Amino acid sequence: MKAFIINKYTKAGLQLADVPDPVVGNNDVLIEVYAAGVNLLDSKIKTGEFKLMLPYKMPMILGHDVAGIVVKTGKNATKFKVGDHVYSRPADYHAGTFAEYIAVNEKDAAFKPKNISMNQAASIPLAALTAWQALVELSGLKKGQKVFIQAGSGGVGTIAIQLAKHLGAVVATTASAKSFELLKNLGADILIDYKTNDFEHMLKDYDVVLNSQDQKTLEKSLNVLKPHGKAVSISGPPTPEFAKEIGLPWHLSIIMSLLSFGVRNKAKKKRVNFSFLFMRAEGSQLQEITKLIENGIIRPVVDKVFAFEQTNQALEYVESGRAKGKVVIQIKSENQQMHSVKPH
């Protein structure tokens, strides 16, 4: 099969290569890839930014979001059958959606929402699971609470705003003024133009902050929280708790402890909670997200769709930081299968 690979950590582009078809494990489903979402995570893994936390074997296929059709199931896999339309954020060490096929553990997949296209579905898993794990699981966001979601027009931001509104929260966000209309339509209540205003002077007594920016922004974010408020950062710095959770060796745990010492100390002094989230694959949560999409509560925001051959351009566009919502690579057109495979 064809796939975009790297042979070593690099700043250069991905290489289109012929690689063996995936091996389908006993609990796996083999998915024919129709579309793949592109994330900054792909870029960070490519350049080796996460090699301490996620030491991948080379060569590796990148890509952490997939929508497609099940074409084969492992002998113990019972959740899906051949012909089912599914989507997934494959687990760490099992990335590889920039390819014609991928084998995914069935527990990491969910039925694709019936009311959206493959391209739209591929934009959802990583961003929506990040938002869910930050707002529902870690923060327990409740009706009437106030949440500050940074970079509202980004892939995670566009979903997090909709999820927070569904949970009944008041939502503040930062973006450039040209994204305001989009974000209002998604449900944002307070819009701050980061180019002309400082959120630190405009927000106070917030219950939750979802930080996706640099450490300086994270430290400022602690100031807008009320006592016992929660700051969840998806952009670092990683904490010793995270190191323990993913079973890193003691010396890496010490490094993470040092990296996050300043922020943890500030949070403690302000009597607020700080946690680092590196989202994980979770098919059961994704199935909940499917329900929200099918009920019209969350809608995907796709900025651009690139052809499979343009995978490098798609990654460059994501790296530019200009995307409003998500960027998707279309590997196969849905029209190619409509006559042969019925949706579930």
Tens of pLDDT, residue by residue over 219-253, are: 999 999 999 999 999 998 999 999 998 888 999 99
pLDDT of the residue at 337: 56
CB 120 within 8 A of CB 300: yes
Distance CA 171, CA 188 (A): 5
Q: Where are the beta strands (DSSP E) in the chain?
A: 2-6, 15-18, 28-38, 60-61, 65-73, 85-88, 101-105, 109-111, 146-149, 170-175, 190-193, 206-211, 225-233, 273-276, 302-307, 326-330
* DSSP-based helix, strand, coil % in the chain, nearest 5: 35, 25, 40
Backbone φ and ψ for 145, nearest 5 degrees, come out as -80, 165
The pLDDT assigned to 225 comes to 98
Q: Does residue 341 have a pLDDT over 70? A: no
For 134, which DSSP code?
I
Mean pLDDT across 116-132: 98
pTM assigned to the model: 0.96
CATH class of the region 126-276: alpha beta
The CATH code that applies to domain 2-124+301-336 is 3.90.180.10
Band (344; pLDDT cuts 50, 70, 90): very low
Q: How far apart are CA 206 and CA 224, in angstroms?
A: 6
CA dist., res. 344 & res. 324, Å (int): 31
Do 223 and 269 touch, CB atoms closer than 8 A? no
pLDDT for position 112: 98
- 3-43 pLDDT, tens per residue? 999 999 999 999 999 999 999 999 999 999 999 999 999 99
pLDDT at 339 over 80: no
Place of tokens 């997939």: 66
Tell whether the model's pLDDT for residue 100 goes beyond 60. yes
pLDDT of residue 52: 84
Query: Over 90: is that where the pLDDT of 335 sits?
Result: no
Query: Could you tell me the residue ranges of all domains in the chain?
Result: 2-124+301-336, 126-276
pLDDT-derived band of residue 336, with 50, 70 and 90 as boundaries?
Answer: low
Buried-state track 136-161, b at ≥16 Cβ within 10 A, e below 16: eebbebeeebbbbbbbbbbbbbbbbb
Is residue 343 predicted with pLDDT exceeding 70?
A: no
pLDDT at 57 exceeding the cut of 60 = yes
pLDDT, one tens digit per residue, over 176-217 is 999 999 999 999 999 999 999 999 999 999 999 999 999 999
Kindly give, in sequence order, each residue whose CB lies less than 8 Å from that of residue 127, ignoring residues fewer than 6 positions away: 37, 39, 155, 156, 158, 159, 326
Using DSSP's 3-state secondary structure scheme, residue 166 falls into helix
Are the C-beta atoms of 69 and 83 separated by less than 8 Å?
yes
Between 338 and 248, where is the model more confident? 248
Task: Count CB atoms within 10 A of the CB of residue 184.
Answer: 12
Using 50, 70 and 90 to split pLDDT, how confident is the model at 282?
A: very high
Whole-angstrom distance, CA of residue 157 vs CA of residue 326: 10
pLDDT in tens, 143-183: 999 999 999 999 999 999 999 999 999 999 999 999 999 99
Cis check: omega of the bond before 237, within 30 degrees of 0: yes
